[in-house]
Chain A
């Protein structure tokens, strides 16, 4: 990007400065006809204070994203996603959308750089962590060799609930994969690479553990039989629909490509009315789905997975709830993070 020509929104290029006088077409333009002041940006390492890069003739309305791109030119191994730039070595990271001239800096800005480490996109992580359980469960369902013993290889369970459970589990993860591709609008592009190993261990590990017991030749069907399975299925489907409705509602809050945050409100869809009581009804419905699945299969590992998931989602919901309260003065006071009135 040539610092002398900054494309504005709509793609109108700035007119080159003529004799130091500049014409801007942007409505928020500097009204005076003084010579435009270019900024200088020096980037130092946050830990060692080494000078890493010096940029001169930076447009005052350049964004942090653009500065990151310039920095990558001199240090190609640090692509923008792994750069954290900040005004203070121990301070918070600046946002990509922040504009240089709006920051509390002089015309020579000093930014501190911290390497966030190898990054991986959220989409990649989600797809990998969800594709695993889908596949792994099926391996146990079809009783592929070396799991249960040769006389059971490729046999099929005689319990109908086992087939139903496979359909539900697979449906759940296919839904998640499709939502990742078509529904979710992520705030962040990337996360640290080590997260993929951590997350996949969790999802794949639990999937294998649950699937082992549900599809085991010695599996014991639920104590209360069909009644129990029917009830569980209703809970499961209700919560799957609920969770999906919330994901759609959240998607519609945010225009494509943007990172705006708004207070979510109930829509015409009754499943979204849970927003009246809860900040993160998607998590509420998710826990509900897994409780349904646990009742359906009457399998302790499933109950444990639901519990661990509930604990993690409660932590996330509380964090999200706190951010909402901090950001919005008029945030509805009746709402709890994840469980109406309780948590």
Chain B
């Protein structure tokens, strides 16, 4: 689900390691350098998107139809996140490949298979809703990773990552669901990405029904991820409290 990345804490873990906040075995020096560069570039990219939204808002004077001003960097940097699946696969980031793949693919799905593919929804306000949620989340998330890799994580970033999701996550989910819902009639009308019988591969696929199933899947998935993040928040932020007290 795309929204799982749109909270203040992108992954269902804290980004490095699925259980404890402490990493088991860090990546090597080369991998660390690469990851720092990757995360800095991504932070910068999402900052570009943030600035783009703000400038477009100030220029136009309204918050409608801002998608077009940041369409290209959004596609570029959100798609670039696919690399994170490889990071897990190669073991330089100790997260689960399956979980990361799921989260990134859902974002990419919303970017390309819904927003890009169904032009008629690009004017919808719901698009702005999830783009803003994603932008704030990703800026915090990638800077969190950057600072963690450099072993110098300001408490503010950690706090932001584990707190802002409380608002950003539902915000992002709402934006996503509303956008998919808005796309439905146009998908139906155009028969988008659908194939019907008869055909020589004896196969059929109805994208409209598929989108409805995707929307339904948010119901079991969203609460699980949300409560997991709340649980992580309690663990990570109270752990830091104790650390501070003992100093």
Contacts and interface: CB of A to CB of B under 8 A. Distances in A.
A213 B200 contact: no
A214 B202 contact: yes
A298 B200 CA distance: 7
Contacts of A213: 197, 202-204
B199 interface: yes
Nearest to B198: A218
A216 interface: yes
Grouping DSSP codes into helix (H, G, I), strand (E, B) and loop, the B interface class, with mixed when no group exceeds half, is: loop
A218 B203 CA distance: 10
A171 to B, nearest CB: 21
Interface string A213-224: 110101110010
A223 B200 contact: yes
A298 B201 CA distance: 6
Interface residues of B, number: 8
Interface string B193-233: 00001111111100000000000000000000000000000
A301 interface: yes
Contacts of A301: 202-203
A223 B199 CA distance: 11
Contacts of A223: 200
A62 interface: no
Contacts of B199: 220
B122 to A, nearest CB: 32
Interface string A302-327: 00000000000000000000000000
Contact of B198 (A214, A220, A297, A300): A220
Contacts of A299: 201-203
A142 B16 CA distance: 54
A219 B204 CA distance: 11
Contacts of B201: 298-300
B44 to A, nearest CB: 39
B197 A300 contact: no
Nearest first, the 9 A-B pairs at minimum CB distance are A300-B203, A218-B198, A218-B197, A299-B202, A300-B201, A213-B202, A220-B198, A220-B200, A220-B202
Interface of A: 213-214, 216, 218-220, 223, 297-301
